[in-house]
Amino acid sequence: LHAIELLEKGGTFKCRELVHGNKRQKPGEMTLDIPSSSKTVVDKVEPNQTLNQLHVPKTTNYTAIDAWIPGIGAFQMTVGKKHDIKEGAEEDLAMLGQGANKLYWLLPPLYYHSFTKKSPQDIEQHAVLIPYPE
């Protein structure tokens, strides 16, 4: 998967924090720095997994999140606007370490600007721009 390869390669990604629809003030764009690492395939998120290392679940039907980097956050890929946060995601996020309790939506340019915050709203969420493969 293109997005996972990019995470593995590492680099600086454009991102923006997603806020509740009622908030008038939209946060500005930021950048997300991902260190390069070789992905490791594991059963699930567990406390004390290697910091700054990309982890992906062994089973494709692991629903909560698509990938995670302890110390940075969790990643969910979506190609459309309609996508909810799956059950179990909050518990997984809590195990990613101090300040890494965040969900990053990996989005194609088409949806990056229009994507909105999903429920549960108390999860910190960011949109990350994943450029199309060249």
Where exactly are the structural domains of the chain? 2-129
pLDDT at 80 over 70: no
- Residue 83, pLDDT > 80, answer no
This prediction has a pTM of: 0.92
Q: Which helix (H) or strand (E) holds 109?
A: helix 109-112
Mean pLDDT of 27-47: 94
More confident residue, 113 or 7: 7
Average pLDDT over residues 25-51: 93
Integer Cα distance of 40 and 56 in angstroms: 6
Residues 6+ apart with CB under 8 A from 111: 78, 79, 80, 81
